[in-house]
Amino acid sequence: MDIIFRLRAVIWMLILALWLSLVFEFLRTDLATPAPAIHWLPPALQARRELEPAPPPLPSAELPMREEAPGTEALQHASQAAASPETPSGLPKGFVVSRTEHFIIYHDPGEPTLERFSAFLEELHQSMMLDLMHFSPWARSQSIVIYFFPDQDAYRRYTKRPAWSGGSSSVQKRTVFIYKSRDLRGILAHELCHIYFDGFFGKGEALPLWLSEGMATLLQVDRGLAAPGWLKSNLDNLADGGGFELSQFVDIKDTSNSRDDVVRLWYAQAYSLTRFLLRSQRGNQFYRFCRYLKEGEDLVRAMYLAYGMPFNKLSSLEFVWRYDLKTRKLTASAPARNFEGE
């Protein structure tokens, strides 16, 4: 009996020693702070090509790829560096008002597509609420205002927006300015998402820029069924190991001095990471994650409180997210993506 007791003690001591060595290795790795890096190309190709130096600053911090990426103007809502334009006051000359269950629409009196546009708005609202109703309970009883212009010239005369602008919005006033175009569906989904989702966080800095733009692009793709043409190639780059390291990515608050290709890559990563957090969740983990951010928790703490282990550090999130990028095993039941050209 004494021998058996001693054997048990030895076995437990070995187990304890092994556990302590694993904990030490885990902490040693976690505390290491390598310089942030970004893999612009897949690692196998990176050594063969040097990046060009960034050119002079782009003209706006909102997004310099308007023709290819409609609906991404809302960088103004979350970026400290991009001031929101003044919301115009008064109705455009000759406009009349129509109402649906969830929208107040200002438009030309003879607008021939109004009935179809109104039906589309309600359809889009119902689809977006599948993801966003917890973030905007007010949407059940309060309306969003839509200014629906017949063309870009009328839109620009009223809003004073630049030529590349496909639409704009005011989160605080719950108002969207839009005109008829082939990109209307995607722009509306993107801008409405900023109102439904960004408004949940209030006026502070609780909402990270990547989460704001990632969610808006996600809803543009999954609910608006209008993926930007540049998205698929950048997602392929991410799946091959390209993109920003998360430690650097989550700290980006302004893209005004970046090249177009860098901004596209950043948007693709924001979309992909947000999609992973939302589509791989169990229960209401994503909502809890956002609520903790709103309450002032830092990103890693909010993630751990909402999702639990192993998401107690950014490196763990990056490992699991990149694994899912290649396999789709964790987000297999998510809505199908609608990439142009597929």
| Position 79 in a domain | yes
Quote the distance between the C-alpha of residue 177 and its chain's center: 21
Which residues on neighbouring strands pair with residue 105, listed in sequence order? 98, 146
CB-CB contact of 191 with 74 (8 Å): yes
Q: Regarding beta strands 144-149 and 103-107, do their DSSP bridges make them parallel or antiparallel, or are they unpaired?
A: parallel
Pick from 231, 248, 194, 305: which is nearest to 38 by CA?
A: 248
pTM of the predicted model, to two decimals? 0.72
In-domain check, residue 58? no
Specify if 128 maps to a domain: yes
Q: What is the pLDDT of residue 88?
A: 59
* Residue 286 included in any domain: yes
pLDDT at residue 22, rounded to an integer: 57
User: What's residue 12's pLDDT?
Assistant: 73
What b/e string do you get for 287-325 counting C-beta neighbours within 10 Å, with b at 16 or more? bbbbbbbbeebebeebbbbbbeeebbbbebbbebbbebb
- pLDDT tens for residues 2-37? 677 777 777 877 777 766 665 555 444 444 444 333
Q: Please count the structural domains in the chain.
A: 1
Q: Is 32 within a domain? A: no
- 19 found inside a domain: no
Which domain, by its residues, includes 146?
Answer: 68-327
Q: Is residue 132 part of a domain?
A: yes
193 close to 78: Cβ distance less than 8 angstroms: no
pLDDT of res. 337: 52
Return the CATH number at 167: 1.10.390
Can you give the pLDDT at residue 300? 96
- What pLDDT, on a 0 to 100 scale, did the predictor assign at position 3? 77
Contacts 24+ apart (CB under 8 A), 48-53: 52/259
Confidence at residue 16, expressed as pLDDT on a 0 to 100 scale: 72
Answer whether residue 39 is part of any domain: no
Q: What is the pLDDT along the chain (342 residues), one digit of tens a residue?
A: 567 777 777 787 777 776 666 555 544 444 444 433 344 434 433 333 333 333 333 222 333 332 333 334 333 333 332 334 455 567 888 899 999 999 999 999 989 999 999 999 999 999 999 999 999 999 999 999 999 999 999 999 999 999 888 999 999 999 999 999 999 999 999 999 999 999 999 887 889 999 999 999 999 999 998 999 999 999 999 999 999 999 999 999 887 788 889 999 999 999 999 999 999 988 899 999 999 999 999 999 999 999 999 999 999 999 999 999 998 888 876 554 544 433
Determine the 3-state secondary structure of 98 from DSSP.
Answer: strand
